């Protein structure tokens, strides 16, 4: 039996050894014990629903878990950057991100998407005045 589990927080939420992104993740409940399933279903930071046909198809066509993990890691790195690691437009510099995450594959569009989510979540980039 499958479930679609989405985090309420922009950067996702970890529970039962698995990261659940805000956009949701299709999971096979057989991976979890009955106790873990109850914990997931009762977790206020997660929304657990039956998957729609569209969600089942989307999960089959892409690596949603890998992408969610990349987004989470990018957001964490962005929050750790220093003043000089940002461009004049306020976005994190791609060269800095690539240096800190050498094995990750991402482009400026994904960087911008994750950055917008981090900012929407209330993060403020450090400034020289601080």
pLDDT per residue over 44-74, tens digit each? 999 999 988 877 776 665 555 567 778 888 9
Assess contact for 23 and 74: CB atoms under 8 A. no
pLDDT per residue over 93-123, tens digit each? 999 999 999 988 889 988 998 898 888 888 8
H or E stretch covering 99: helix 94-100
Q: Note the pTM of the prediction, 2 decimals.
A: 0.52
CA 85 to chain centre: 21
């Amino acid at each position: 039996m499958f479930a679609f589990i989405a985090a309420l927080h922009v950067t996702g939420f970890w529970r039962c050894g698995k990261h659940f992104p805000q956009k949701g993740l299709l999971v096979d409940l057989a991976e979890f014990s009955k106790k873990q399933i109850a914990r997931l279903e009762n977790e206020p930071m997660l929304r657990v629903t039956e998957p729609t046909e569209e969600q089942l198809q989307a999960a089959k066509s892409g690596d949603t878990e890998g992408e969610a993990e990349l987004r989470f890691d990018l957001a964490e790195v962005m929050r750790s950057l220093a003043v000089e690691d940002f461009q004049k437009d306020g976005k994190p510099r791609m060269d800095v991100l690539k240096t800190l995450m050498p094995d990750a594959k991402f482009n400026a569009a994904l960087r911008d998407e994750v950055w917008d989510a981090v900012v929407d979540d209330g993060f403020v980039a450090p400034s020289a005045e601080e």
